[in-house]
C-alpha cells in the first residue's frame, strides 16, 4: 500500500525532498503562496527558489493545510526555525494520531533554545519524530548529482521505513539513532559556515578555510557532546559532511552571509536582499547561550556572534581569533 507524504514548506529544500519522495510514493507539498503551488502543479518547477530545475511530475502542491495534512501518513516539516512552532500548531489541527514527523530544519528556537524535534515532542506527544540532515545542496540533487543523507529517529523501525520513502538511486539515506547529535550538528555548522565565508570575503586562502572548518568542527563537537550527542555523529555525514558542504559551496546561504560580512557589508542589508533564510544568523545567539550554560569554549562562534550582533567588523574578528593563545589541539 502506498503511503501519503505531506511536506510542509516549499522552500528550496522542502521542495527538493518532495521531489525525492515523489519517486517512491504519493507526495503533497504545502506552499504558503498559492501562486507558487500553481507554478509547481502546472509547470513542475519552483521558479521562486529553484528556477531551471524540473520537479518530479507526481509532486502535488497546495496552499491548503487541511488538504496537505489530512491525508498524511508521514509529515515532513521544511519550514525555518522561527516559524516552526506556529506552523506545527496549525498542522496539529489536521494530523492523525501516531503519524511520524520528520524535521528538515537546521536551526534552534529563539528563547526556548529547543531543537525542532523537541518542539515536535512537545506539541505532538506520542508521534515518532526525527530529523533528515546531511551535506545536501538542493540544486545539485535536482541536477541529478549523487548525494547522501542521514535519517535520525526515535524509533529504529520507523527510521528504516523513512529510509525507503526518501532514498532514490542517486540519493542514499543512512539511519542513525542519535537524534540529538544529528540535529545539533545541522544547526551548529551554520554558524561555522558564516565564519568560513567571512574568511573568504576577507580574501584569505585555503589554509585559513581548512583551519576554520577543522577548528569549527572541534567547537560544534564539544557542544554537541556536552548536550548529549554521540562523538561518531560529528565525524559523519550530519557533522563533518554537512559542515564541509556548507563552508565551501557557493550555494550555501550561511557562507554567502559570511562572504558579504567579510567584504564589509552590514548584516541587515545582507539579510534584506536574500529570499531564503540563513539559519546561522539567528542560531549564533542561541549557540552562545548554550555554550555558556554547558561551560564549552567556542571562540569561532563567539567571534561570529560579535560580528552579527555587536557590530564588530569581520577583519577585527579574524584578528581576534589569531590573537588567542595557542593550546593543545585536544584542549576542551
Per residue in 129-188, pLDDT (tens digit) is 999 999 999 999 999 999 999 999 988 999 999 999 999 999 999 999 999 999 999 999
Helices (H), the chain: 12-21, 34-43, 65-69, 81-92, 116-123, 138-142, 156-166, 179-201, 206-226, 231-234, 242-248, 253-262, 267-273, 279-294, 299-309, 314-322
Query: In whole angstroms, what is the distance from residue 300 CA to residue 286 CA?
Result: 14
Query: In whole angstroms, what is the distance from residue 11 CA to residue 49 CA?
Result: 6
Question: By percentage, how much of the chain surpasses pLDDT 70?
Answer: 96
**CATH superfamily name and code, 4-177:** NAD(P)-binding Rossmann-like Domain (3.40.50.720)
Catalytic residue chosen out of the listed positions 43, 48, 139, 189: 189
For the domain spanning 180-322, the CATH number is 1.10.1040.10
Interval 13-64: pLDDT, tens:
999 999 999 999 999 999 999 999 999 999 999 999 999 999 999 999 999 9
Identify whether 189 is a catalytic site residue. Answer: yes
What residues does CATH 3.40.50.720 cover in the chain?
4-177
Q: Find out whether 271 and 278 touch, Cβ atoms under 8 Å.
A: yes
pLDDT in the model for residue 332: 58
pLDDT in the model for residue 277: 83
Q: Find out whether 110 and 124 touch, Cβ atoms under 8 Å.
A: no
Q: Please provide the size of the chain in residues.
A: 332
- The reported pTM is 0.94
Q: Find out whether 17 and 166 touch, Cβ atoms under 8 Å.
A: yes
What residues does CATH 1.10.1040.10 cover in the chain?
180-322
Tally of CA atoms within 13 A in the half-sphere of 82 that contains its CB: 9
Q: Closest Cα partner for 280 from 295, 267, 262, 263? A: 267
Interval 277-290: pLDDT, tens:
889 899 999 999 99
Amino acid at each position: 500500500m502506498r503511503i501519503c507524504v505531506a511536506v510542509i514548506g516549499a522552500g528550496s529544500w522542502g521542495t527538493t525532498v518532495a521531489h525525492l519522495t515523489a519517486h517512491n510514493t504519493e507526495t503533497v507539498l504545502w506552499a504558503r503562496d498559492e501562486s507558487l503551488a500553481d507554478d509547481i502543479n502546472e509547470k513542475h518547477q519552483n521558479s521562486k527558489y529553484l528556477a531551471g530545475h524540473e520537479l518530479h511530475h507526481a509532486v502535488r502542491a497546495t496552499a491548503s493545510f487541511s488538504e496537505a495534512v489530512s491525508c498524511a501518513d508521514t509529515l515532513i516539516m521544511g519550514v525555518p526555525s522561527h516559524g516552526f512552532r506556529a506552523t506545527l500548531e496549525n498542522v496539529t489541527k489536521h494530523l492523525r494520531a501516531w503519524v511520524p514527523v520528520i524535521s528538515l530544519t537546521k536551526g534552534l528556537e529563539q528563547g526556548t533554545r529547543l531543537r525542532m524535534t523537541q518542539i515536535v515532542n512537545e506539541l505532538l506527544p506520542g508521534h515518532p519524530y526525527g530529523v533528515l540532515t546531511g551535506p545536501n545542496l538542493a540544486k545539485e540533487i535536482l541536477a541529478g548529482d549523487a548525494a547522501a543523507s542521514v535519517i535520525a529517529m526515535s524509533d529504529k523501525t520507523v527510521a528504516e521505513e523513512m529510509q525507503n520513502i526518501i532514498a532514490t538511486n542517486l540519493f542514499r539515506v543512512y539511519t542513525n539513532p542519535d537524534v540529538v547529535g544529528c540535529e545539533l550538528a545541522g544547526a551548529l555548522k551554520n554558524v561555522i559556515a558564516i565564519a568560513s565565508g567571512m574568511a573568504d570575503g576577507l580574501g584569505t586562502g585555503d589554509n585559513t578555510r581548512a583551519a576554520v572548518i577543522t577548528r569549527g568542527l572541534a567547537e560544534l563537537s564539544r557542544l554537541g557532546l556536552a548536550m548529549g550527542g554521540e562523538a561518531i555523529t560529528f565525524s559523519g555525514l550530519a557533522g563533518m559532511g554537512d559542515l564541509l558542504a556548507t563552508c565551501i559551496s557557493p550555494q550555501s546561504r550561511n557562507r554567502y552571509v559570511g562572504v558579504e560580512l567579510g567584504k564589509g557589508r552590514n548584516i541587515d542589508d545582507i539579510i534584506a536582499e536574500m529570499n531564503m533564510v540563513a539559519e546561522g544568523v539567528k542560531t549564533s545567539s542561541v549557540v552562545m547561550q548554550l555554550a555558556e550554560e554547558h561551560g564549552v569554549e567556542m571562540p569561532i562562534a563567539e567571534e561570529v556572534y560579535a560580528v552579527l550582533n555587536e557590530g564588530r567588523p569581520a577583519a577585527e574578528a579574524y584578528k581576534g581569533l589569531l590573537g588567542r593563545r595557542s593550546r593543545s589541539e585536544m584542549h576542551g
